[in-house]
A and B are shown apart, each in its own frame.
Chain A
Amino acid sequence: MKGIADDTADMASVPAVRHLMRAKDLADARYFEPLTVSDLAKAAGLSRAHFSQEFRRAFGETPHAYLLTRRLERAASLLRMTDRSVAEVCMAVGWQSIGSFTTSFTRTYGMAPTAYRTAFPPASHHALIPACVLRAYGRPQHRTFREDATAARP
């Protein structure tokens, strides 16, 4: 059977799995773009079918599953840690359709994105907004009080 080393013979100085890592790195870094398995295969320098097979052999899951779960992990994090809408989160992690996103999310996490969000404390509870910021930004804008007006009177 043809192995990955054959496809990458011209890049023999680099370990074969390094080419698969390029694809994995691409999924990690650019998950929010409309990436496909073909794009990942291209990054690895392999044919799509061969790439999927070799990726699964190296990492224990298909490249499609890896990209999907990378996006879902990011979406779950954004639902917990931001106050963006579900639609914004969906688009921010590379989904084109809210329906498809909701279906995949629900299948993976056992609840819809909105329910998932409400199961956690609001994102503002996680914000490590330091006391100095709270003190500075929470202070109201100065208003002129009546006693100032009285004191200013001649």
Chain B
Amino acid sequence: MIRIANAQLWVHDQDEALAFYTRKLGMEVRIDVTVPEMGDFRWLAVGPPGQPDVSIVLMAIPGPPVMDDATTDQVRDLMGKGFAGTVFLTTEDCLATYKELTGRGVEFVEEPDQRPYGLDSAFRDPSGNHIRLTQVQPYSPS
């Protein structure tokens, strides 16, 4: 059986991303190691408490020799525009989580709104990645 282990997001600053995903969103650090023999490559993953087998790898955009400068710029540009990946989060109570996160300074780009699949909202992480926050409800076509 195939299961999801990690999914990866590009971030422009791993420390800033770490603070955002842990301190603001309440995720836990799953692993954080720096490998000197790989040019201080840092493998950093976070995930929600209560869901230990799934995590998001917060990956710094590399330069040469992994990516040439032009590709690095393209990835950074796409990320900043919110086109480099999306994370879909769910919550039991979208309004309460929205208020909680807003109180911690998370800026929503879509306030909670009723959709056929539930109460849905969206915000961005400091790198510009698009994060959706949904309270999934039984489908009700409107």
Contact surface of A with B, Cβ cutoff 8 Å = 28-30, 32, 74, 77-78, 81-84, 92, 122-124, 126-129, 133-134, 136-142
Contact = CB atoms under 8 A, between A and B. Distances in A.
A141 B64 contact: yes
A128 B6 contact: yes
B41 interface: yes
9 contacts: A29-B26, A29-B49, A32-B23, A122-B33, A128-B5, A133-B41, A133-B43, A134-B38, A137-B41
Task: Enumerate the 5 nearest inter-chain pairs by beta-carbon distance, A residue then B residue, closest first.
Answer: A82-B32, A29-B26, A137-B38, A127-B43, A137-B41
Given A128-B5, A137-B62, A77 B28 contact: yes
Interface of B: 5-6, 22-23, 26, 28-35, 37-39, 41, 43, 49, 62, 64-66
A140 B31 contact: no
A129 B30 contact: no
B34 A83 contact: yes
B6 A74 contact: no
A78 B18 CA distance: 14
